[in-house]
Amino acid sequence: MAKKSKKKGAGKPATSSKKTKKVIAIKSVKARKSAAKKPARKASRRSSADVAKLQKAIVKGLKSGKSAETLSEELGVSRPYIYVLKNRV
């Protein structure tokens, strides 16, 4: 029987155990990069009166021809929230 070739780990060569004579795999030294995340913002609670004012401002702004992106910057809310308030009955 022919022996299979052993692949070495990335970075360092594999070492063998002194007791069992088996090859011990060595993991790569390079750390994985985690996906860049935005820092979590504290959720702000708005009163129903504030939400009503926001909703009126959003409807008025959208009717005047402003985009949701510009409205979100002006009012300090996210774009999806603008769509939620626009579609609210």
pLDDT tens for residues 55-89? 999 999 999 999 999 999 999 999 999 999 999 86
Tell whether pTM > 0.75. Answer: no
pLDDT of residue 60: 94
pLDDT of residue 2: 60
Query: Which are the contacts of 9, defined by CB distance < 8 A and separation ≥ 6?
Result: 25, 26, 27, 28
Outline where DSSP puts E strands in 1-89. Answer: 15-16, 23-24
N- to C-terminal Cα separation, the chain: 77
13: amino acid identity, one letter: P
Distance CA(73)–CA(31), nearest Å, equals 37
Which tops the pLDDT comparison, 33 or 59?
A: 59
- Under DSSP, is residue 23 helix (H, G, I), strand (E, B) or coil? strand
Tell me the average pLDDT across 38-59: 85
